[in-house]
Amino acid sequence: MYESYSKPLLPRPVFLRRLARHAAAAFGTLLVCLAIGMAGYHHFEHLPWVDSFANASMILSGMGPLGDLKTTGGKLFAGCYALFSGVVFLTLIAVFLAPIIHRFLHAFHLPEEAPPPAPKSKSKS
């Protein structure tokens, strides 16, 4: 997907398009995960949509739920959603930052060269 170290860096407009694609993929995935959380809180805890949004977004960002959970199904959902959200949040950060980190590390790659010859040993008799 990315250029190898032997190729030059992409021009800035191409890099920015790549960054925009990654940001769009991360944001779209975030919206899907937020919708899953909202539907779960709405179904299991019978919360209004606005409260479901608030709880799901707080869990997804790692802050924690806003209110007490009343049903067993809601508690089970919230636990599973919290575990899921932790992995998703870290993954989305990695997806968004991948082009930036790649471009940064690309500068450290050196062209391949033959290894220097081994020094000749002098033996004393």
Kindly tell me the burial class for residue 49, based on how many C-beta atoms sit within 10 Å of its own C-beta (0-12, 13-18, 19 or more).
Answer: exposed
pTM given for the model: 0.75
- Residue 125: the pLDDT is 56
Kindly tell me the burial class for residue 81, based on how many C-beta atoms sit within 10 Å of its own C-beta (0-12, 13-18, 19 or more).
Answer: buried
Residue 119 lies in a domain: no
Task: Give pLDDT tens digits along the chain (125 positions).
Answer: 666 666 777 788 988 999 999 999 999 999 999 999 999 999 999 999 999 999 999 999 888 888 888 999 999 999 999 999 999 999 999 999 998 888 888 777 655 565 667 777 776 65
Cβ atoms of residues 38 and 53 within 8 Å: yes
Neighbours of 26 (CB within 10 A): 19
Task: Assign residue 81 the CATH number of its domain.
Answer: 1.10.287.70
Residue 30 lies in a domain: yes
Amino acid at position 23, single letter = A
Residue 99 lies in a domain: yes
- Domain with 41, as residue range(s), is 26-106
Q: How many domains does the chain have?
A: 1
- Residue 5: the pLDDT is 63
Residue 93 lies in a domain: yes
